[in-house]
Structure 1
Amino acid sequence: MTKMGTNQTYSFDEAFQTALAYFGGDELAARVWVNKYAVKDSHGNIYEKSPEQMHWRIANEIARIERKYKNPLTAQEVFDLLDHFRYVIPAGSPMTGIGNNHQVASLSNCFVIGLDGDADSYGAILHIDEEQVQLMKRRGGVGHDMSQIRPKGSPVNNSALTSTGLVPFMERYSNSTREVAQDGRRGALMLSVSIKHPDSEAFIDAKMEEGKVTGANVSVKLTDEFMQAAIDDRPFVQQFPIDSREPMSAKTVSARALWEKIVHNAWKSAEPGVLFWDTILRESIPDCYADLGFQTVSTNPCGEIPLCPYDSCRLLSLNLYSYVIDPFTDHARFDFDLFSRHVQLAQRIMDDIVDLELEKIELIMEKIRRDPQSDEVKQTEYHLWEKIKEKSGKGRRTGVGITAEGDMIAAMGLRYGTQEATDFAVSVHRTLALNAYRSSVTMAKERGAFAIYDADREAHNPFINRLREADPQLYEDMRRCGRRNIACLTIAPTGTTSLMTQTTSGIEPVFMPVYKRRRKVNPNDTDVHVDFVDEVGDSFEEYIVYHRKFLTWMEANGIDTRKRYTQEEIDGLVKRSPYYKATANDVDWLMKVRMQGAIQKWVDHSISVTVNLPNQVDEALVNKLYVEAWRSGCKGCTIYRDGSRSGVMISVSKKDKKKEKTADEDKRKDLYSSEEHHTHILERPQVTEIRPKELDCDVVRFQNNKEKWVAFVGLLDGYPYEIFTGLQDDEEGIALPKSVTKGKIIKQTAEDGSHRYDFQFENKRGYKTTVEGLSEKFNPEYWNYAKLISGVLRYRMPIDHVIKLVGSLQLKSESINTWKNGVERALKKYVTDGTKASGQKCPVCGQETLVYQEGCLICTNCGASRCG
């Protein structure tokens, strides 16, 4: 294998087959690597066919930077750390971008932007909008804070007279994010606001309306004062500006009521996330330099990096599982010596990546200079990168983290979520922190400290004093020599990279150690085993998929990994393993939060972690977990209750034994699975021939040529049951306020047996308004097609097949065809994520590998995406 890259290109199949062998037959890992991380040019030509080539590409570039400094690492030494994703794993942007001369992209995963002073003028708001888009097109996830935008109703010096508040601008930023795609990757955005802002309640509620702010994660910044007021049920003062001694507006609210709204919304929709802002600022080392431009204002989209405006961070993880000697045995032990050495090397590599990023920024700026647009058009983008370069060079911030925490704990014979496991994990993260900072001090001696280092500024920082107590010599050396990096550590989600390490992700426990998949089979083939036949007659075989490290546990304990086990036998195996009661959905949730808080004390940035809860938990538990997270010292917390987000399928759970042989056996189940989501289930309602008098209804608006139309989608148990469409705001159509998105369709039966369908909704004052006779509002031709579609919906034709049916209608009228496209779009939002678009080929790679994802078609082969 050559150690240097070449200009030879490979087909997708060549790269996939080589990667498949590299990953030991793991198809998903191979496909993800080829699609996301193998070097490609803008035409899609693939220049690497193996992760080994990728690792040499990275190692050679790191070694080139190392040669600028004393005691350089060789390319071979770096490669040995990277090889087979065993020890050190750069995050996606560095892995893709280092040494990639075919695309001009940043190596940073995370950015935060923001303006000082008057940041709520239209000019400032549009400026931020442009900056976030310019960063997203270079692969960056972006966060920014909205606390500086004046609240709704505030006076403004323009023709509007008063401000519209936060929510319209949340929509603007969200929509901009959805417009940006880079190599099949959507933009990622975090919007935050202080709980002290008078519009924070509107911010908290913004995503509760379906279809709103779909391109952003949202988090609310909670102060200690607010948290204590909520617990004590005391009033809380909101004001604007939020930190002004002489605010232009202020109001007093019930902290308890606002807190309960946060809890309710998180329980219902998994958002907003919460950021414990005083903890973040109190613990932040960069905020010791706040007056020099390092004041933290928001976080990246996953929340693991709180940042100041125009700073960025590159990420890297260590694979904790690889440091367990004799895993899953009674004499398993953690190699702290090897881990300590590798942490110091990883921090060194991270600092090299800062240099590589500064080179990339120069290339980006040079490209902007060469672009044919006028200087007036280019100046915002160019100045943006000037600010990022200055901040990155001044602080040299890094993000060394971990992955495989869940597998490490299991391999040590411990159970995730116990005190023993937490204590061990804390000892590992303490070792990580001390050695990363030791490495940064050593580099300060060899390469120089970051430009604004000042030991006195950091003297009272809680994190620095923790290091001082644990290692007094390290602290003295740091005061004397400085430190190379303003902050060093984080714990990111590591979603797709953990597929290639074939381990659990980040700090999380295993999602499921064993799960089922289905593959289509020909029932006429010999020796075929048919487990399931779907609605259209296709036959499927079910097969068991094991988490890779669960297989290692089986092998270590002499259990046959080739045998076909019954479900009862699988349950028994899981119960014997260290993964029992330690999965995402059944871990001790309070202990998980406490573990996060304990580890947070040794992470200078933050931790991205999600507390997964079963669907049936109540809001009181969410409340308890959030309060515990605050008290435990977490910097943020995200709760996800199973099934709480529209379009997200419900995870398979073990049914009550009594129910398994009754109703559950009568229901048809569709299983869809991936390494990221594991086994999921959609239980469709029984075919219902008697229509209930009332149905819940979603309102979906669309364009029919230049006319505005509206679709009423009647839902039975959340599944589309019927559809009505009609003109909006027409004398013969339907006059409906734009704010209406939900209601009920009520079937009225006259004495002569005829039926009428009415739509009923609540107005802003809580009064019910009825639109009578939906069928009478339509052109007869549209009405007949709507009856046809409703008919197949009522007999439970799968939604993707209904969409295919609608698309196949041969209609002569151009306006009818436009209407047909609108109906397709209205129905697509109800297709379960992961459903294959049968018979449709990807327009990019030509493969029949399209699946529905959030109403869009995503190609699982090449990553292409299209909506509409």
Structure 2
Amino acid sequence: MENLTTYSFEEAYETSLKYFDGDELAAGVWVNKYAMKDGFGNIYEKSPENMHWRIANEIARVERKYENPLSAQEVFDLIDHFRYVIPAGSLMTGIGNKFQVASLGNCFVIGFDGNADSYGAIMKTDEEQVQLMKRRGGVGHDLTHIRPAGSPVSNSALASTGLVAFMERYSNSNREVAQDGCRGALMLSVSVKHPDCEAFIDAKMTEGKVTGANVSVKIDDEFMESAIEGKPYTQQFPVDAKNPKVRQEISAKNLWEKIVHNVWKSAEPGVLFWDTIIRESIPDCYADQGFRTVGMNPCGEIPLCPYDSCRLISLNLYSYVVNPFTKDAYFDFDKFRKHVQLAQRIMDDIVDLEMEKIELIMEKIKVDPQDEEVKQTEYHLWEKIKDKSGKGRRTGVGITAEGDMIAAMGLRYGTQEATDFSVSVHRELALNAYRSSVTMAQERGAFAIYDAGREAKNPFILRIKEADPELYADMVKYGRRNIACLTIAPMGTTSLMTQTTSGIEPVFMPVYKRRRKVNPNDTDVHVDYVDEVGDSFEEYIVYHRKFLEWMKINGYDATKQYTQEEIDELVGKSPYYKATANDVDWLMKVRMQGAIQKWVDHSISVTINLPNDVDEAQVNKLYVEAWRSGCKGCTIYRDGSRSGVMIPMSKKEKKTAEKEQLKDSNMETKFNSPREAPVVTETRPKELECDVVRFQNNKEKWVAFVGLLDGYPYEIFTGLQDDDEGIVLPKTVVKGKIIKQTNEDGSHRYDFQFENKRGYKTTVEGLSEKFNPEYWNYAKLISGVLRYRMPIAHVIKLVGSLQLKDQSINTWKNGVERALKKYVADGTQAKGQNCPVCGHESLVYQEGCLICTNCGASRCG
């Protein structure tokens, strides 16, 4: 590895802050998530410009293998400042990063082509899921192959437990796999034809169950027709067997009402219109060659066959609007067509880069110290992924900032005029991505199994044939480089850096009623609603910078003090007026999704956000309209519907019982549970109960001693566990006492005391002297904050915000965060933090992990 310049966090943050024109949120997101780092946290890039040159140079390297190569400068000009072409997060992190051995794929689907209804297959799937998630890949897999509850088995159990038990297994595996950092999301699906379908969709209605997975039901046309018309429907197992082992007739209407009710109540299950997916799927023209679609990736934008994966790039639609927000606004279709063709070309280059990454992963597995028998499943997994990626060369070119494009064109989101314009843009996107793929087939060769005859009756291919007969003729003659090309994915935190709305969504909230509020007496910086008169627009959070651009273009002063009446009048003139998630006609949004879907060969990830007071009949109406409009899937979220879904019931019940007990006995309520803050106790008791928390950072063994007062963290000591310095703790020691002792000279020391298995007490004297003095000084600072009962979630945020130059101290900081997270009350909102998957500010703590209540993604560590 060549010698590379490293930068402190402060250097990278300040440079990035200038790059983003003072946007602190964007700068922080980039430095923390996307700047190139090694395993020790050293930063090797100080601004997105460095990152974009890293990506451009790698793309140019691949381009030189082929005819008419793009230069690094040409690639850089496309991606610079996130203006036109935006690589997805995994690409920004992984391309050209020699410090990581990780795939460039965002998500994967796994499964077996043959009979997989056995414990061996279930365990194999479980391991493959874990192996992918440890490399931060999201995973989807289908459970339709598992026999229903009560089916006879030939082992000692005598009867099958059904698929719900295995939902819990896969969910738990997801939750345990990541001990530090972000893990991939999990999507579990089942066919509505499976006899256990109702049990599947009810599994997550019990609080604390299947908390590590999203669930979706694969709905067929026959079921929808039966549900609407009130006809019976036959479930069976196997679902596609001519002579099934299990067969039962149900009321489709009743099951559909159960699905709608559960969605209304908890935002799950997701609904996949499976017949539409398969009917429209181009890869399924090659089903007998391994490309039979079996599942959906966790974010819902790409249906996949086993062992295929998605890599994503988006075009920023707002950037193609010339003279935005004026009467002279127009969309530069010529530039857009050119850039779409280049984006598709770059996506194909990224497939080559992914193949290189997979080879590196496989080489690493070869040299791992475990026995070959242990490593064979992981190695073979990547062999299968490499084979599928190479054969199909699947890509995911999409868009972002559709809502901004519509507003900049002077159109209103949700109107027929806006929908028609959006469809015309997506038609050009599809035609030019496929034109580029055909051109590459001439220069580089078609994907390995291309066969025009197999695709001749595919509905998507027939639309291309009708819209551009010349393109279709060339495709038949030369083939196509990529088996499928297009998708619309959620942008997540990337949209914060592009400073646009994400995907095809409208603005989420009314812009003029959100601002940044900083309370000098609070450690948190958060977004709050304001209705008071006289606030200047410069105080409003730049949630939507395009609104401010509209103001400037139209001659309004963003620093002027406005009355509330003036604010309302101003917003009423804006193209964003009546175009928020709460304003848009939901049926029109569904129809817009269905119309756009006809020009997207994969799928569209979009959520219909409904207010809390909407009834179940409206949810039903939206789903039926989505099916009729040609949507491949639909996710409906009613405000507040996921509150509490991820909180274990036993803990909630325990808290309630404790409160009631204290109330009934007329005791003074000093605290409500071991996880809620007691009153401040300034004088430290001589002895404190203590938890011992062990963890590993960068192959180093660390330990934290957390002193507890009334079950609540009161002080913390943490550092390297160094046996040579006298900290010899059996692995079974997880609790003890911290005892404050007074030395002869009046100074104090802290001893740790624990009982061994035989009940004998062992004391480690001078605990405060066992760790690096600098650690001890910082620990005193954090302990002081804990002593005065700052909420634990705020303490964690405070520790995380410390900007420390020495890498070992930064590792210590990570250890403190990890040690304290276990004490955050389940269900506590992580204010100011956005989900890295869906981009929503919807993260809550659960058992020390951050769980997204919107999409189910998890982050531990």
Q: TM-score range by the shorter chain?
A: 0.7 to 0.9
Residues 200 and 802 (structure 1 numbering): CA distance in 2 closer, same or farther, change over 3 Å? farther
Distance across 2 between alignment mates of 1:122 and 1:135? 20
- Indicate which of 795, 819, 836 corresponds to 2:794: 836
Structure 2 equivalent of residue 127 of structure 1:
124
- Indicate which of 700, 721, 729 corresponds to 2:650: 700
The residue correspondences of 1:447-846 to structure 2 (distance < 5 A) are 447-512=444-509, 513-514=511-512, 515-521=514-520, 543-546=539-542, 547-646=544-643, 699-701=649-651, 711-713=654-656, 722=659, 787-790=669-672, 801=677, 836-837=794-795, 841-842=799-800, 844=811, 846=813
Per the alignment, in what secondary structure is the counterpart of residue 351 of structure 1? helix
- For each residue in 1:373-417, what CA deviation from the matched residue of structure 2 results, as whole angstroms up to 9, or x when unmatched? 111111000000000000000000000000000100000001111
Distance across 1 between alignment mates of 2:278 and 2:686? 62
- Indicate which of 16, 22, 31 corresponds to 2:28: 31
Q: Does 1:268 align with 2:226?
A: no
Q: Once the 2 structures are TM-superposed, how far is the Cα of residue 569 of structure 1 from its aligned partner?
A: 3.2
Q: Once the 2 structures are TM-superposed, how far is the Cα of residue 564 of structure 1 from its aligned partner?
A: 3.5
Q: Once the 2 structures are TM-superposed, how far is the Cα of residue 115 of structure 1 from its aligned partner?
A: 1.3
Distance across 2 between alignment mates of 1:314 and 1:452? 20
Distance across 1 between alignment mates of 2:386 and 2:651? 44
Distance across 2 between alignment mates of 1:581 and 1:325? 23
Structure 2 equivalent of residue 244 of structure 1:
241
Structure 1 equivalent of residue 694 of structure 2:
none
- Indicate which of 256, 259, 276 corresponds to 1:259: 256
Residues 109 and 55 (structure 1 numbering): CA distance in 2 closer, same or farther, change over 3 Å? same
Q: Please, what TM-score do these two structures have when normalized by structure 1?
A: 0.78
Q: Once the 2 structures are TM-superposed, how far is the Cα of residue 861 of structure 1 from its aligned partner?
A: 9.6
Structure 2 equivalent of residue 360 of structure 1:
357
Q: Does 1:422 align with 2:419?
A: yes
Residues 479 and 31 (structure 1 numbering): CA distance in 2 closer, same or farther, change over 3 Å? same
Letter in 2 for 1:166: L
Maintained 8 Å contact 2:205/2:645:
no
Distance across 1 between alignment mates of 2:405 and 2:324? 8
Residues 74 and 232 (structure 1 numbering): CA distance in 2 closer, same or farther, change over 3 Å? same
Letter in 1 for 2:41: G
Distance across 2 between alignment mates of 1:811 and 1:566? 58
Maintained 8 Å contact 1:5/1:57:
no
Residues 12 and 803 (structure 1 numbering): CA distance in 2 closer, same or farther, change over 3 Å? farther
Unaligned segments of structure 1, at least 5 residues: 524-529, 533-540, 650-696, 703-709, 715-720, 726-746, 748-754, 756-774, 776-782, 794-798, 825-830
Maintained 8 Å contact 2:138/2:183:
no
Per the alignment, in what secondary structure is the counterpart of residue 250 of structure 1? strand
Distance across 2 between alignment mates of 1:805 and 1:277? 60
Maintained 8 Å contact 1:178/1:187:
no
Q: Once the 2 structures are TM-superposed, how far is the Cα of residue 788 of structure 1 from its aligned partner?
A: 2.8
Per the alignment, in what secondary structure is the counterpart of residue 580 of structure 2? coil
Per the alignment, in what secondary structure is the counterpart of residue 455 of structure 2? coil
Residues 215 and 570 (structure 1 numbering): CA distance in 2 closer, same or farther, change over 3 Å? farther
Q: Once the 2 structures are TM-superposed, how far is the Cα of residue 601 of structure 1 from its aligned partner?
A: 0.1
Maintained 8 Å contact 2:485/2:601:
yes
Structure 2 equivalent of residue 159 of structure 1:
156
- Indicate which of 173, 176, 186 corresponds to 1:176: 173
Q: Once the 2 structures are TM-superposed, how far is the Cα of residue 566 of structure 1 from its aligned partner?
A: 4.0
Residues 131 and 587 (structure 1 numbering): CA distance in 2 closer, same or farther, change over 3 Å? same
Per the alignment, in what secondary structure is the counterpart of residue 493 of structure 2? helix
Mean Cα deviation higher: 161-170 or 846-855:
846-855
Letter in 2 for 1:722: K
Distance across 2 between alignment mates of 1:104 and 1:385? 13
Maintained 8 Å contact 2:688/2:708:
no
Per the alignment, in what secondary structure is the counterpart of residue 220 of structure 1? strand
Structure 2 equivalent of residue 14 of structure 1:
11
Q: Once the 2 structures are TM-superposed, how far is the Cα of residue 267 of structure 1 from its aligned partner?
A: 0.8
Q: Once the 2 structures are TM-superposed, how far is the Cα of residue 813 of structure 1 from its aligned partner?
A: 6.5
Residues 363 and 306 (structure 1 numbering): CA distance in 2 closer, same or farther, change over 3 Å? same
Distance across 2 between alignment mates of 1:100 and 1:168? 40
Maintained 8 Å contact 1:806/1:820:
no
Letter in 1 for 2:265: K
Q: Once the 2 structures are TM-superposed, how far is the Cα of residue 445 of structure 1 from its aligned partner?
A: 0.1
Distance across 2 between alignment mates of 1:147 and 1:808? 58
Per the alignment, in what secondary structure is the counterpart of residue 549 of structure 1? helix
Maintained 8 Å contact 2:209/2:648:
no
Structure 1 equivalent of residue 188 of structure 2:
191
Structure 1 equivalent of residue 395 of structure 2:
398
Distance across 2 between alignment mates of 1:507 and 1:128? 34
Per the alignment, in what secondary structure is the counterpart of residue 158 of structure 1? coil
Distance across 1 between alignment mates of 2:289 and 2:560? 63
Distance across 2 between alignment mates of 1:631 and 1:819? 60
Residues 199 and 470 (structure 1 numbering): CA distance in 2 closer, same or farther, change over 3 Å? same
Per the alignment, in what secondary structure is the counterpart of residue 233 of structure 2? strand
Residues 821 and 111 (structure 1 numbering): CA distance in 2 closer, same or farther, change over 3 Å? farther
Letter in 1 for 2:799: K
Residues 346 and 711 (structure 1 numbering): CA distance in 2 closer, same or farther, change over 3 Å? same
Aligned length: 724
Maintained 8 Å contact 1:266/1:639:
yes
Structure 1 equivalent of residue 142 of structure 2:
145
Maintained 8 Å contact 2:325/2:553:
yes
Maintained 8 Å contact 2:207/2:645:
no
Distance across 2 between alignment mates of 1:601 and 1:342? 21
Residues 89 and 199 (structure 1 numbering): CA distance in 2 closer, same or farther, change over 3 Å? same
Unaligned segments of structure 2, at least 5 residues: 523-527, 531-536, 692-705, 715-788, 801-809, 837-842, 849-861
Distance across 1 between alignment mates of 2:679 and 2:342? 54
The residue correspondences of 1:15-414 to structure 2 (distance < 5 A) are 15-181=12-178, 184-414=181-411
Residues 186 and 615 (structure 1 numbering): CA distance in 2 closer, same or farther, change over 3 Å? same
Letter in 2 for 1:221: K
Distance across 1 between alignment mates of 2:563 and 2:610? 27
Letter in 2 for 1:587: V
Per the alignment, in what secondary structure is the counterpart of residue 400 of structure 1? strand
Residues 805 and 387 (structure 1 numbering): CA distance in 2 closer, same or farther, change over 3 Å? farther
Distance across 2 between alignment mates of 1:421 and 1:263? 29
Distance across 2 between alignment mates of 1:482 and 1:446? 11
Per the alignment, in what secondary structure is the counterpart of residue 483 of structure 1? coil
Residues 377 and 505 (structure 1 numbering): CA distance in 2 closer, same or farther, change over 3 Å? same
Letter in 2 for 1:711: K
Per the alignment, in what secondary structure is the counterpart of residue 456 of structure 1? helix
Residues 258 and 410 (structure 1 numbering): CA distance in 2 closer, same or farther, change over 3 Å? same
Residues 345 and 819 (structure 1 numbering): CA distance in 2 closer, same or farther, change over 3 Å? same
Per the alignment, in what secondary structure is the counterpart of residue 313 of structure 2? strand
Maintained 8 Å contact 1:800/1:837:
no
Distance across 1 between alignment mates of 2:710 and 2:152? 45
Per the alignment, in what secondary structure is the counterpart of residue 419 of structure 2? helix
- Indicate which of 440, 445, 460 corresponds to 2:442: 445
Distance across 2 between alignment mates of 1:407 and 1:5? 43
